């Protein structure tokens, strides 16, 4: 089945839409039919796995695939859990299938979880940003499959931020579940290409190799940012949030509210103690999005960045100007940075450079050589 994506063409202050045909990996059933025939199948997935209006699990079952278990990442199988919320094992009310949580204490499938699974399928929409945790879920699934001798099929999907590569490359001391690999903040690869890189670079524990098959999508190239048909997670509700997320998620490592607690997360930022700022809002708990936003119930002063979508598209790079401005304007008693900041950025230097008053170009210069080296590695794994 085919559906439409949007190629975004920037013209002055408006965005025109040109439709093109796209087929995600899971839609190309003939390309992987034989790999699943007669097998008991596990599926790592969430609400973004769709074939038209049908969930990917339902689609596979309709084709006669024997799906025996579902594995769910952060935000859960149906994608409704808040960021960081513990996800528990459950049973899907629609299919009756057991759901194994891969977020919380158990981030890696255990041997008992994989009992009876002969082939694993991974189908989750990524947004192309290092600290988006679906990448870490992919890593642990690949590792578990490699250890248990289970083939893995990654159903590829477009990356809406594939049109550029930028940001510090993660260093070892900052490895965590929000960043496991030595890649820039924005790495310009699809989830399938990234899986090939994890395997090829020996990043799995003990340098084990996963028996990996990537089913490519069709009708897309990396210069086409896409308007995703479903929000990939509760706090990335639309294309504007997805585009700004690589730049504004750094605020999660600070005292500044990053727009959680509003209907436009990652499109606004603010704090009660930011002075002389042009925009104000009050973050509030929102069920299914942000139950405990920073600065809840307080008037925050900051900026509305929604119109900066085009700026990011044209610059093809992260924008640190907003973070640097917030640091200069902040007058609160609470420290500006928290322990998460270095993990998001990927090193300890950027925090110090900001404190030292370095310019954006000074800071950016510090990661250019690492990004150039990464680009050489990346070439080996590109499909599109």
Whether pLDDT at 10 is above 60 = no
Closest of 140, 142, 131, 141 to residue 84, by C-alpha: 131
Give tens-digit pLDDT for 153-203. 999 999 999 999 999 999 999 999 999 999 999 999 999 999 999 999 999
Closest of 134, 147, 119 to residue 76, by C-alpha: 134
Whether pLDDT at 309 is above 60 = yes
Matching CATH number, 3-215, of 3.40.50.12170, 3.40.390.30, 3.30.565.10, 3.40.50.2000 = 3.40.50.12170
| Distance of alpha carbon 139 from alpha carbon 56, whole angstroms | 21
For the beta carbon of residue 230, count every other beta carbon within 10 angstroms: 13
| Mean pLDDT (whole number) for 310-336 | 97
The boundaries of every CATH 3.40.50.12170 domain in the chain are: 3-215
Whether pLDDT at 3 is above 80 = no
Give tens-digit pLDDT for 330-360. 999 999 999 999 999 999 999 999 999 999 9
Q: DSSP states of 69-115 as a string?
A: EEEE-TTTTTT-SPTT-----EE-TTT--EEEE-SSS--S--TTTTT
- Backbone φ and ψ of 152, nearest 5°: -120, 130
pLDDT at 20: 57
The single residue listed with the structure tokens 């609160």 is 332
pLDDT at 74: 79
Q: Which of 20-24, 137-141, 372-376 has the lowest mean pLDDT?
A: 20-24
> Taking the chain, what is the end-to-end CA distance rounded to the nearest angstrom?
21
- Cβ-contact 199, 142 below 8 angstroms: yes
Predicted confidence band of residue 86 (pLDDT cuts 50, 70, 90)? low
Residues in the chain, overall count: 384
Whether pLDDT at 313 is above 50 = yes
Joined together, the tokens standing for residue 269 give: 């930022």
Give tens-digit pLDDT for 211-247. 999 999 999 999 887 889 889 999 999 999 999 999 9
């Amino acid at each position: 089945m085919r559906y439409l994506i949007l190629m975004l063409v920037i013209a002055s202050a408006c965005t025109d839409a040109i439709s093109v045909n796209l087929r995600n990996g899971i839609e190309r059933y003939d390309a992987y039919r034989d790999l699943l025939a007669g097998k008991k199948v596990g599926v790592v997935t969430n609400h973004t796995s769709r074939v038209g209006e049908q969930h990917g699990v339902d689609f596979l079952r309709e084709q006669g695939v024997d799906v025996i278990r579902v594995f769910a990442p952060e935000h859960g199988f149906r994608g409704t859990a808040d960021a960081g919320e513990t996800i528990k094992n459950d049973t899907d009310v629609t299919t009756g299938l057991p759901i194994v949580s891969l977020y919380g204490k158990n981030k890696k499938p255990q041997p008992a979880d994989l009992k009876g699974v002969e082939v694993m399928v991974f189908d989750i929409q990524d947004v192309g940003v290092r600290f988006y945790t679906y990448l870490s879920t992919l890593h642990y699934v690949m590792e578990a499959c490699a250890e248990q001798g289970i083939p893995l099929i990654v159903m590829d999907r477009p990356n809406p931020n594939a049109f550029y590569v930028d940001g510090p490359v993660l260093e070892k001391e900052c490895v965590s579940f929000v960043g496991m690999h030595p890649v820039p903040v924005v790495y310009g690869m699809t989830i399938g290409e990234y899986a090939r890189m994890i395997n090829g670079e020996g990043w799995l524990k003990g340098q084990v190799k996963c028996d990996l098959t990537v089913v490519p999508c069709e009708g897309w190239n990396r210069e086409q940012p896409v308007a995703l048909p479903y929000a990939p997670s509760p706090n990335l509700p639309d294309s504007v949030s997805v585009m700004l997320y690589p730049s504004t998620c750094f605020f999660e490592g600070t005292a500044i509210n990053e727009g959680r607690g509003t209907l436009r997360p990652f499109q606004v930022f603010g704090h009660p103690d930011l002075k002389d700022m042009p925009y104000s809002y009050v973050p509030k708990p929102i069920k299914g999005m942000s139950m405990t936003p920073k600065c809840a119930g307080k008037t925050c002063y900051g900026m509305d960045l929604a119109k900066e979508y085009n700026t990011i598209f044209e610059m093809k790079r992260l924008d640190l100007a907003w973070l640097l401005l917030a640091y200069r304007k902040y007058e609160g008693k609470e420290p500006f940075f928290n322990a998460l900041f270095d993990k998001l950025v990927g090193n300890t230097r950027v925090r110090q450079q900001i404190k030292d008053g370095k310019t954006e170009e000074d800071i950016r210069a510090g990661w250019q050589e690492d990004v150039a080296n990464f680009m050489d590695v990346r070439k080996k794994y590109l499909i599109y």
